[in-house]
Amino acid sequence: MSAFQVPSPDDRVRILDESGQVIESATVPDLDDDSLVGMYRDMRVMRRFDERAVNLQRQGRLRTFPPLAGQEGAQIGSAYATDEGDWSFSSYREHGYNYVRGVDLPSILRYWSGDERGAAVKGTNVFPLAIPIATQIPHATGTAWAAKLQGDDVAVVCHFGDGATSEGDFHEGLNFAGVFDVPAVFICHNNQWAISVPRERQTATDTLAQKAHAYGFEGIQVDGMDPLAMYRATRDAIEKAKAEDPGEPRPTLIEAVQYRYGAHTTADDPSTYRDEAEVEEWRRLDPLTRFEAFLRDRDLLNDDRLEEIEAAIEKKIDGAVGRFGDDPEPEPADMFEFVFETPTEELRKQGAYLEALRDRYGDEELRS
Amino acid sequence: MSATQDLTLVGAVQDGLRTEMERDDRVLVMGEDVGQAGGVFRATEGLYEEFGENRVINTPLAESGIVGAAIGMAAYGLRPVPEIQFSGFMYPAFDQLVSHAARLRTRSREQYTCPMVVRSPYGGGIKAPEHHSESKEAFYAHEPGLKVVVPSTPHDTKGLLIAAIRDPDPVVFLEPKRIYRATRQQVPEEPFTIEIGDASIRREGSDVSVFTWGAMTRPALDAADELASEDIDVEVVDLRTLSPMDTDAIVASFEKTGRGVVVHEGPKTGGLAGEVTARIQEGSLLYQEAPIARVTGFDVPVPLAQLEDFYMPEDTRIMDAIREVHAF
Ligand SMILES: Cc1ncc(C[n+]2csc(CCOP(=O)(O)OP(=O)(O)O)c2C)c(N)n1
């Protein structure tokens, strides 16, 4: 069979050590200075956006929000490694990846404020996020398969959490990917928790990466809080997926080992199931701090530059929140508009009934 | 009289589970986050501490695994009460429910049975994220071999949940999460049961009968109260159990009023309002004074939070229908 080994935690891919120094045996990916600084800036955009979104939820302007703090390295690193034209599928926590791929910040806010108009952004190849756990995985396999059947130079990146690996759809999606040898990169964001359930309760295996072995393709564990390692792992996986003759199976499972600093969502209280000390432990691996140290070492970042970046980010996010706030309210009639290409007779009738009710009683009455 | 306690609907779920687990050590709870965290709605709060990890089991994130394993446990003699975190995430378990739980008794000629209660919060009205607001009770009621229970008060919740746990067959127990904490009620501390299959008349009236269940009971009662001032005397029948359905109670109420409105959150087409209407038509056609109205969700995917209010039936829409049926 294949030459690859069952991955063990000792083989975890890492380029930066805990203090942001390049590890001796590692080589830094070939990224230009602008891209390196860009990665840092985008990670920082997401850290700040996260804080703002949580506040907007507290003010009642978002209904719920799933914070990503701690997971910027894996999302931004993998996004920078994705080629233009590639497709991606995600769950609800990967707005950092999606942002780099063209999903604008106001759209993210729209979706979490309960407005469908934020769910899909034109021209991005970023599929609408999937809330039912693991259901996006077979979609990713199917899209990658279709690209292969059509002879297109397209890879598909699929994101999901550690909890998702317990669902049947994970197994079926990866199994198909192996059988049909599709150009897909599966990124499992192992943030140690699925709401209150720890990673050990999801599987009795040592790693999540080793599950790929059972599907006949490569699985690797990566330090998900090291953006360079995530860039490298994703880049290698995408190149293998697209190679004329990769000489080994095309799909890859990347287990990005990381941590969710915040609550599962704004509706969750992590103090009921985990110790704050554990959070502090993981913060020592913070992707922003480590990457900042790396960039400072290379003279790509200094206090002045940082201040500029910070100011630009504030402006950007203020602008995004402003544009989100200026949205006209969605139209109730929209509900009926997009069910089918052509609304059925019955849908038209129901739509007309709602309009008649609005005329007769006014929206305030119907909303109470 | 036995002692009572002041409980919310979700508190009554917790209390029902606890009293039944104390009484019968075959009863166990399993699901995502039901352990230390006590469930995302706190429905299993404190149970892990009281009964330990072998009876309050945090499972991997896999609904088919949860319900499938519960079927195996039930067949072996335990009384599992699996929780599906939100009814919108029931679908991976649908195969297990429909292909196995529902028909194990039939296909084994009763050598194997499935006394299991699948609990799940369901329904809209809390402006939750996508897939968290659906009302798909008709899916389950359509399946022969499954019982379907939807309580609407804290008192009924405890009595029906205990009846479901003691029932020899699989029960889908749908909890209207919108009213989990909406009201409090005195509920007996002792275990007690309410018969599955028994509707409850929430309000007596002589002009129009409203048939409903779960979270829609409240707006139906509000509509009834308001219409009293217009001299329309409305009866509100809370079905409480959708399968089996209390045909006698439906027919008796309709024969009294001759006019009916059925209210549910789920989509109109294929919804259980059609079933209620058919039973009335079969049972008391000659009493019918007006077309039976359906006030339901629309035939659309439940919209996200900003438009949810326009999807959900509420008292204004219910009153509108009652007036129309009354004036016919
Ligand atoms: C099929 C399904 N079951 C249950 C849920 C409820 N739920 C939402 S998030 C979550 C935990 C997911 O954990 P994980 O996959 O590790 O991703 P993370 O949230 O940590 O990013 C659960 C159980 C769901 N959304 N979908």
Taking only the tens place, the pLDDT of each residue in A294-314 is 999 999 999 999 999 999 999
Q: Is B42 in the same domain as B139?
A: yes
Range(s) of the domain holding residue B235: 200-327
Cβ-proximal residues to B12 (8 Å cutoff; 6+ apart), any chain: B151, B154, B155, B157, B158, B161, B185, B187
Last residue of a domain, which of B188, B209, B227? B188
Residues B181 and B313 in one domain: no
Domain presence at residue B193: no
How many other β-carbons are positioned within 10 Å of the β-carbon of residue B212? Answer: 28
A318: exposed, middle or buried (C-beta count within 10 Å: 0-12, 13-18, 19+)?
A: exposed
**A246 neighbors A218 (Cβ within 8 angstroms):** no
Does B166 share its domain with B250?
no
Q: How far is the CA of A266 from the centre of ligand 1 (A)?
A: 14
Query: Are A339 and B91 inside 8 Å of each other by CB?
Result: no
Question: Given this model, what pLDDT does residue A2 score?
Answer: 44
pLDDT at A7: 67
- Judgement on whether residues B179 and B213 belong to the same structural domain of the protein: no
Residue among B132, B155, B264, B326 flagged as catalytic: B132
The pLDDT mean for chain B works out to 97
pLDDT score recorded for residue A4: 55
Residue B27 falls within a domain, yes or no? yes
Verify that B220 and B120 share a domain, yes or no: no
User: Are both B170 and B24 inside the same structural domain?
Assistant: yes
| pLDDT for the residue A243 | 97
Does B195 reside within a domain?
no
- Residue B58's nearest CA partner among A219, A39, A196 is A196
**pLDDT the model gives residue B2:** 81
Average pLDDT over residues B255-281: 98
**Residue B194: inside a domain, yes or no?**
no
A-chain CB neighbours of B309 within 8 Å are 366-367
What is the rounded CA–CA span in Å between residue A187 and residue A207?
Answer: 14
Q: With 70 as the cut, is the pLDDT of residue A6 above it? A: no
* Domain C-terminal end among B188, B220, B243: B188
Are B207 and B129 in the same domain?
A: no
| A368–B307 C-beta distance less than 8 A | no
Cα–ligand 1 centroid distance for B74 (angstroms): 26
Domain boundary among B132, B157, B188: B188
Query: What's the pLDDT score for residue A214?
Result: 97
CA R_g for chain A: 22
* One domain, residues B155 and B15: yes
The verdict on B51 touching A (C-beta cutoff 8 Å) is: no
The CATH number assigned to the domain holding B223 equals: 3.40.50.920
Task: State pLDDT tens for residues B148-159.
Answer: 999 999 999 999
Cα distance between residue A18 and residue A11, in whole Å: 16
Within-domain flag for B123: yes
Domain CATH code at residue B44: 3.40.50.970
Count CB atoms within 10 A of the CB of residue B304: 25
Within a domain: B294? yes
**Taking Cα atoms as reference points, which of B226, B252, B266 lies closest to residue B134?**
B266
Same domain? For B128 and B159 the reply is: yes
Same domain, B144 and B236: no
Both B176 and B213 in one domain: the answer is no
Task: Indicate if B231 and B165 belong to the same structural domain.
Answer: no
pTM given for the model:
0.97
Is the residue at B52 inside a domain?
Answer: yes
The answer to whether position B90 is within a domain reads yes
Residues B168-196 have a mean pLDDT of 98
Count of domains observed in chain B: 2
ipTM of the prediction: 0.96
CB-based contacts of A321-325 (< 8 A; 24+ apart in sequence): A321/A52, A321/A56, A321/A106, A321/A109, A323/A106, A324/A105, A324/A106, A324/A109, A324/A110, A324/A113, A325/A61
